A and B are shown apart, each in its own frame.
Chain A
Amino acid sequence: MTESWGQFKSFEGKKFKALDAEFTNKVSSLIGGKDLTACFQCAKCSAGCPVSDKVNIQIHEVMRMLLFGLEAVLETDMVWLCSTCYTCQERCPQGIDITDILFGLKNMAFRKGIRPTGYISARESLYETGRLYEPTDWERDDLELDPVPELNIADTKKMLDRMKLMNLEEEEE
């Protein structure tokens, strides 16, 4: 289990009250969330999840939290650790677009300031340089490699502008 990601780690001893239908509806209106409540908890998604042994809360439990309208779901590590392999979405007997919903949750979490450390700087790097990190020049020289070719930042910036990558901002509380 990872320690550094999600703040919400277990249900031990937790009690919930009067489930919030509003949150569920909000998630249902995201891309892929249309059939969210059709989940009947077969847990087939978790069974096929490649990161299931790395997360505190399994994906079927995440879906459950969505059904219950528990906003604490945004603090689970699955939101960021999902590898987007799409196995769950492919095999879900209720045809729920689980991975797509998780994408939506990533955006929601980000707006609340819940994001992995380094995400903001990584995003900026991607936008400004088209790369997530800088290649080490002298190592490349040592290995007698050609320099890294220049990227057409203008095109990538146009694409990322269309996707509104930099618009995703933390919300004022």
Chain B
Amino acid sequence: MAESISKPVVIIGAGISGMRAALDLAEMGVKVFLVEKQPSIGGHMSQLDKTFPTLDCSMCIQGPWMVDCSRHPNIEILAYSEVTKVSGKQGDFRVEVLKRTRRVDADKCTGCGDCQRVCPIEVPNEYDIGLKMRKAAYIPFPQAVPNIATIDHENCIECMVCVKTCKAEAIVFDIVDEHVVINAGSIIIATGYELLDPATIPEYGYGRFPNVVSALEYERMVSASGPTGGIVMRPSDGREPHRIAFIQCVGSRDVNHCSYCSKICCTYATKEAIITKEHTPEVHIDILYNDMRAFGKGFEEFLVRAETEYDIHFVKGIPSEIQEDYGTKDLIVRHSDAKGHNVLVDKYDLVVLCPAMIPSLNTKLNEQLGITTDESGFIQPDLSSLMISETGVPGIHMCGAVQMPKDIPDSVAQGSAAAALAALDITIPQGEETEALTEEDLELIAAEPRIGVVICSCGINIAGTVDVAEVTEYASSLPNVVYAENLLYSCSSDAQVVIKEAIKEHKLNRLVVASCTPRTHEPLFRATIEEAGLNKYLFELANIREHCSWVHQADKDEATSKAMDLVRMSVARAKLLEAQEEAVTQIEPSVLIIGAGVSGMATAEVISQKGFNVYLVEKQDKVGGFLNELATVNFNNRPASEIVAYYEHRISGKENIHLLLNSEVVDAKGSIGEFEVVIKTGAKKETLTVGIVIVATGAVALEEKGLYGLNKLPEVMTEVEFNTRIASGEGIEDGETFAVIHCAGSREDASLEGSRTWCSGICCMIALEHSLELLEKYPNSRVFHFYRDLRVFYDAEDKYREARKKGVVFVRFDKDSPPEVKKGKEKALSVTVMDQVLGAELTIDVDHTVLATAMVPRPNKEISELFKVPLNLSGFFMEAHPKLRPVDFQTDGVFVAGTATAPKSISESIAEGQAAASRALIPLIKGIRKAEAIVSVVDPEICVGCGTCEINCAYNAIEVVPGDGSHDYAVTNPVLCQGCGKCGAGCPAGAITMKHFTDDQILTQIRTALENMPANDSRILTILCNWCSYAGADSAGVSRFQQPPNVRDIRVMCTGRVSVQHMLEAFRLGADMVWISGCHIGDCHYVDGNISFERRFVIAKKIIEKAGLEPDRLQFTHISASEGSIWAETVRKYAALADKLGPSPLRTRRR
């Protein structure tokens, strides 16, 4: 497949999917042309306020990707452009692109917006779906990439005022359209979706009634950057609505419009409802639906939360039409309610319609490319391989919603999958990169610190609660600060320019940004200052958003003074920051894949084709994983063994794929680039060195004895068993009666112990597949399905219809009254259930009962511990970020794919396998990886060679060596050192310095945190570990769990870094409470840093008790990254405790 010359890849469409594909390929060293027809990249995700289920600010998580695309040397963005013609074949395409002229010189335009201000013509802004106006000379939104103006031909009247106003002389009306021809090796289509125009469903009044809006319009209305600044106002009179209705399935699941299900609307409507409730808790919100569908990871829990925590009403009953009240322009909606027998008439101030998703396609282009679309216009994927990123035309791949309606995590995974497939079409040269401290860096170390401070408004996310002007002024008064500025969005690409210029102009040698969390944005700003010539370790980020503005929304004054404290602490630390050099790790060019199901095999194939060694380890005696337990899959009843054989064939006969069956990983050491793993096969053990590890351990179907009588009553079976029996015909005759019970073991109540709260995503679909298969073989069967919500997506909806037309009866039951299965009299079993629609009890005698049981994770604890990768509360692996990093782990060099993270379909698992391959190829092709410079350094003069550090290091990264002529001393291996800081905190001689987290830096933060304490407010000095508790506090911030503002937090990599001196110093300076929080025992990112700290904690407690302080003033908790609510609860608890204990007796010592 690969050609001999390295050719670029053309990606058509720069939404979240296209950007992911572009970034993966660019990181592999491939040149990418990212073609986008809008003036800015970003797609629809840039229009969203927040994303479900994490409620992350959409632009905040997408923004860094947009900036990365604009800065990456391998990515060339062709925005405001369209692909007009394609010819050629895989490996050698000729792509013609029309670069429409903006009439602006991209090299000269600074994105200042002056032309926008003076342009006299106003037209509706497409970005705000016409709810706000833009000028004919415009930048579509503040974070637009490229951040340059466009003069809109159609509406420009050529008055030339913009030309005269532009100081950079960038507006040139003579610039013509450009035609670019690219010789590409591969093409990826990522053109995404549009929403069906709701006016095509005239009975809902869209377009006639001003207060009926579409979901995307509502998204803009709740966005801080939207037409009403995030305050929801009715279009007719600007009043804030008190009663809002969301109407689902507008145009979807409707044979008169789009017969398919658009998959994401139930979940995004819930999200929009929750966002609204956060703004105004008193709003009454009804979501009118037919089935509530939630497919992805965490979505079911999200829906439950909406109902229980936010009091959002889910009402089953689609309205027939909407009428308008003439005077008030309120909307009158008649709808049924499954719980009652009346038709209700409700009045709403505002109605939001959730329209069907339709493809955004260039049909001419598809014809040229020879791509087949299905009858709804989405691109038909290659059905034989089940690879949904393949269009069937060699060399042309796809990702995102162009294939079918889908959400962001799936679009991102498929973006990576498409990148992997594109990488196979071209050759990629091996990368080479090195870096060392420059002369300039060394000079800087000696120079007097000149600190620049940027206070970010983050739109209104920070500025809405914190007085950013006051904080900026305060910052400028701090010692060594020579520059302080307030920026609207510090992470936007134009802000990076402002920052770089400020560094040059003011000769800054340290930068502090007070904005969001370093966990997402530290790399961005580090890269910016590097470009300005500074070493990247001279940057510090103060978290005044997740840890401040978002969680103290009702205490604006206190939030502002807390922000000032946090800035003061960061400035003090910045003063002591030093330039650092990064250790370079060679990446061993081989990969370990744990699990040879379809996911693992898909990964293996891609990686091996790029020339790297693959060790595919499988516990069972054959490949195929869970598919081996199924007879047929999918609606075409394809034999599961066929799919397994297909993928087995693709990995066999390959020299560089080593398949190890009957094998397990029993030990693992090391880190990215050099993992040392021990594989046990029978009695034999083999040690391998690999550069990357991919976890693809899969999942299984639940088999719980007693569940609806399973394994107790005769003829109760799981869908898996049913599938086998249909194939073999064992024990089934024509004319029998079947009961199928959905949600068996899924969607359980969170209050129950060990409950499986998730939706297993695919079981409804599988239940339908099997029923249809049954009816084909035994057409006189009578089948009853008992369900809570029928969850199928896209064209599986047609199969649901087919089943109903074939006489399958679907009975809906309430969560609180599930069916009862008992031994029957006339037939084997008797099933009794309360039909939700009629409110009457139904009893049917059945010959067989089939349970659509939950998908549950395999026992993953061992792998989790071996590779230090976390599991979440349900036992599935926890990926780095549920929205934007679905196949990554937080730990570098370890990736995950398939059902190991959450239930999903076969084709989705294969796509994730390919996505993980793409992620793995990045370091493999680069060949090296630069480590964080956070390592320990021993001063041999002070060290006494006691060996305490060596005994305690979990990585064997520090050892005592014999001194030549003098005493023995310890030496660190910077490649193995992970930077936990345990050794530094425990060294009795104080000989160890932890780079970038020195004692001085921590102590100065403690000291500045405890300055200027108000007399009547308690102050809690908190030290958090980066991986768990800091992330948990971030999570609490993202979820807006409100907290009292008494906490001042300091970030360290691990609680192991915290020494007794740190805690005592905090008390000495008057802290009312000192609270250290880290990972749960067993989950420490550095194995046992928190256990080391625990020993020190006990010592410190004894000391403060002797000193006369209440021991309760010192606390140690374990809070993980997913426990945002527990973080918030703990803050409240300790604030109350600190009040109860009263001010520390040491307070009066500070003058």
Contacts and interface: CB of A to CB of B under 8 A. Distances in A.
A67 interface: yes
Given A46-B343, A48-B320, A61-B341, A14 B841 contact: yes
B254 A35 contact: no
A87 B320 contact: yes
A39 B809 CA distance: 10
Contacts of A53: 342-343
A17 B318 contact: no
B747 to A, nearest CB: 19
A19 B831 CA distance: 12
13 contacts: A15-B842, A16-B843, A19-B844, A37-B804, A46-B317, A47-B318, A47-B334, A48-B203, A58-B343, A61-B837, A64-B835, A68-B809, A68-B842
Interface string A38-76: 111111111111001100111011001101100000000
A55 to B, nearest CB: 10
Given A47-B321, A48-B334, A64-B835, 12 more contacts: A10-B341, A37-B808, A40-B290, A40-B810, A41-B290, A43-B316, A47-B319, A49-B343, A52-B343, A60-B336, A60-B837, A91-B203
B839 interface: yes
Given A38-B805, A53-B342, A16 B255 contact: no
Query: Range of interface residues on chain B?
Result: 35 or more
B255 A95 contact: yes
Interface string A1-45: 000000000111011111101001000000000010111111111
Contact of B336 (A47, A56, A57): A47
B317 A43 contact: yes
A50 B342 CA distance: 13
Given A47-B336, A57-B341, A93-B255, A16 B840 contact: yes
B68 to A, nearest CB: 43
A125 interface: no
Contacts of B845: 17-18
Contact of A18 (B800, B840, B843): B843
Contacts of A83: none
A35 to B, nearest CB: 6
Contact of A58 (B321, B336, B810): B336
A47 to B, nearest CB: 4
B779 interface: no
Nearest to B807: A37
Nearest to B334: A47
Contacts of A91: 203, 256, 320-321
B838 A65 contact: yes
Interface in B48-80: none
Contact of B805 (A10, A14, A18, A35): A35
B843 A47 contact: no
A44 B320 contact: yes
Contacts of B255: 93-95
A166 to B, nearest CB: 35
A47 B343 contact: yes
B335 A16 contact: no
B807 A24 contact: yes
Given A37-B804, A47-B336, A42 B841 contact: no
Interface of B: 203, 249, 253-256, 290-291, 316-321, 334-336, 338, 341-343, 782, 790, 800-801, 804-810, 812, 835, 837-845
Given A43-B336, A47-B319, A58-B343, A15 B256 contact: no
Contacts of B842: 15-17, 19, 68
A44 B336 CA distance: 8
Contacts of B319: 44, 47
A93 B838 CA distance: 21
A93 B320 contact: no
B844 A93 contact: no
A39 to B, nearest CB: 7
B812 A15 contact: no
Contacts of A39: 804
Top 4 nearest A-B pairs (CB, nearest first) are: A48-B320, A43-B336, A93-B254, A47-B320
Interface residues of A, number: 42
Given A53-B342, A93-B253, A15 B838 contact: no
B249 A93 contact: yes
Interface string A105-138: 0000000000000000000000000000000000
With a 10 A CB-CB cut-off, give which of A47, A56, A65 has the most chain B CB atoms.
A47
Contacts of A44: 318-320
Contacts of B291: 40
Contact of B335 (A47, A56, A61, A68): A47
Contacts of B838: 11, 14, 61, 64-65, 68
Nearest to A88: B320
A131 B684 CA distance: 99
B659 to A, nearest CB: 46
A42 B318 contact: yes
Contacts of A16: 840-843
B624 to A, nearest CB: 35
A70 to B, nearest CB: 9
Contact of A45 (B254, B320, B801, B840): B320
Contacts of A14: 838, 840-841
A101 B317 CA distance: 22
A41 B837 contact: yes
Contacts of B334: 47-48, 52
Contacts of A64: 835, 837-838
A35 B801 CA distance: 10
A11 B839 contact: yes
A86 to B, nearest CB: 12
A11 B842 CA distance: 11
Nearest to A95: B255
A166 B520 CA distance: 80
Contacts of B790: 40
Nearest to A91: B320
B827 to A, nearest CB: 9
A46 B317 CA distance: 9
Contacts of B841: 14-16
Nearest to B806: A37
A95 B256 CA distance: 7
With a 10 A CB-CB cut-off, give which of A38, A42, A44, A65 has the most chain B CB atoms.
A42
Contacts of A19: 809, 842, 844
Nearest to A15: B841
A39 B249 CA distance: 15
A40 B338 contact: no
A12 B343 contact: no
Given A37-B805, A91-B320, A17 B843 contact: yes
B844 A18 contact: yes
Nearest to B843: A17
Contacts of A57: 341
Contacts of A87: 320
A51 B255 CA distance: 25
Given A15-B840, A18-B843, A61-B837, A40 B343 contact: no
Contacts of A40: 253, 290-291, 790, 800-801, 804, 810
Contacts of B839: 11-12
B320 A21 contact: no
Contacts of A11: 341, 838-840
Contacts of B804: 37-40
B812 A41 contact: yes
A135 to B, nearest CB: 38
With a 10 A CB-CB cut-off, give which of A14, A41, A45, A88 has the most chain B CB atoms.
A41
A161 to B, nearest CB: 36
A53 B340 CA distance: 13
Contacts of A93: 249, 253-256, 318
B782 A38 contact: no
Contact of A47 (B317, B341, B807, B835): B317
Contacts of A38: 801, 804-805
B917 to A, nearest CB: 40
Contacts of A42: 249, 253, 290, 317-318
